[in-house]
Amino acid sequence: MILGTALFPVFGVKGILFPLVARAFGLIAAIIGVMTVSVKENEEDPMTGLNRGYNVTTLFAIIGFYVAVRWLLQNNLWLFGAGVIGIVLSYAFVLITQYYTEYKYRPVREIAEASQTGPATTIISGLAVAMECTALPVLATSAALLGAYYFGIYALAGEPGISRNAAGLYGTAIATMGMLSTCAYILAMDTFGPITDNAGGIVEMSRQPEDIRKRTDRLDAVGNTTKALTKGYAIGSAALAAFLLFSAYLDEVSLITGRAFHSVDIAKMEVFVGGLLGAMLVFLFSALAIRAVGKAAYYVINDVRAQFKEKPGIMKGTEEPDYGRCVDIVTTGALKEMVLPGLLAVGMPIAVGVTFKIAFGAGAEAVAALLMVGTIAGILMATLMNNGGGAWDNAKKYIELGNLGGKGSPTHKAAVVGDTVGDPLKDTAGPSLHVLIKLLSTVTLVLAPLFI
């Protein structure tokens, strides 16, 4: 909407209203998509039904986007093309994530087969898949950024008072709106994951027949995939938005100083160090998030062991465990352990900017490098952890379906170790990095005057 204000001479008020109207059409598309989700009992895979709904949502999102562009943006087909690029990028992330986290495909089965030789090979194979799965999302995002940027330039070529860079940024913003068109449906799939996971837990604790547990296991495996693809989708949209926010930071510095600031010279020592600190921040933040899970798990396991001693009837089914104690440990631990990562995310840009301003007079440039490199490293690390964790989890599910020895076999035990390693990656550190990327951009933009 802010970029639409900058383009007021071209589109008028309609350019400002466009994002709201485009999102409204996206919500309608998601409602229609959700209504088409159904699965034939014992004939269709649950993922087939979810994909069908997503395909319908995507189709109606494209139609809605075209109507919005025709109505509000003077039927500019270049801008419609930029929006379609965003929608296609969203679809690509869904397909890529499914490939790396569904047990129908090579990566997850590779991890499951590696589990036959013990936990060590499970971890090695899972790490290889996690690292491999960063390539295709980065290629897709790069192509989308380049395509949307140049579509924006072509769309606004010849318009008086609109610079080439401003036009390119508007194209990127339109692509971001396109990617967010299917957001409501993606979020519905994300919510599907924990619901099916907990349903499986209830079925197991209430000792339902084995055939029911098999159904919930399959739904849980699908839920793992939908959770992973939602996180991949969030990272993709964060990449597009982070580019816009990085450009906004450069513009803000230019506005305050009265001098053009549209490039960051990484060859300058101070700027290079700022970028290095940005990459380090991602790894340190991830370490703190993973350590928080490890500490909470340590206290919970000790409490469970203590309860087994205090109440011997738990194992016989004659006494109820005190679930509240475990919940309190996890809740308190989560709040306490995430204080330091939160302070690090907010404090690091401020510390680097102020220190480099006082010491070298290069605070704004150092923070720009920190933001740029930190965003790139964060996107790669989040993709690695989200998809790697999902792949480990579904490798275990694949074995539990009776493959490679089935539940209770040595292969299954090795896969459980892999799943345990993957859980803090996909459920804590990976999603947290998405927040870190957005937070870095916002903090640096808001506090830009401090660094000059």
Q: What is the pLDDT of residues 352-364, one digit of tens each?
A: 999 999 999 989 9
Contact 324, 419 (CB under 8 A): no
Mean of the pLDDT values across residues 159-172? Answer: 88
Out of 59-68, 139-148, 257-266, pick the least confident: 257-266
Residue 317, both tokens? 């089914």
pLDDT tens-digit series, residues 372-386:
999 999 999 999 999
Determine the pLDDT at residue 62: 96
Nearest to 339 by CA among 295, 399, 384: 295
Mean of the pLDDT values across residues 410-419? Answer: 95
Determine the pLDDT at residue 337: 83
pLDDT tens-digit series, residues 88-133:
999 999 899 999 998 889 999 999 999 999 999 999 999 999 999 9
Determine the pLDDT at residue 227: 83
C-alpha span between 289 and 311 (Å, rounded): 33
pLDDT tens-digit series, residues 383-395:
999 999 999 999 9
For residue 370, what pLDDT band results from cuts at 50, 70 and 90? Answer: very high
Nearest to 391 by CA among 156, 60, 122: 122
Q: What is the DSSP letter of 429?
A: I
pTM assigned to the model: 0.87
Half-sphere exposure of 160 (CA within 13 A, CB side): 1
The distance from CA 181 to its chain's CA centroid, rounded to whole angstroms, is: 16
Decide if pLDDT at 255 tops 90: no
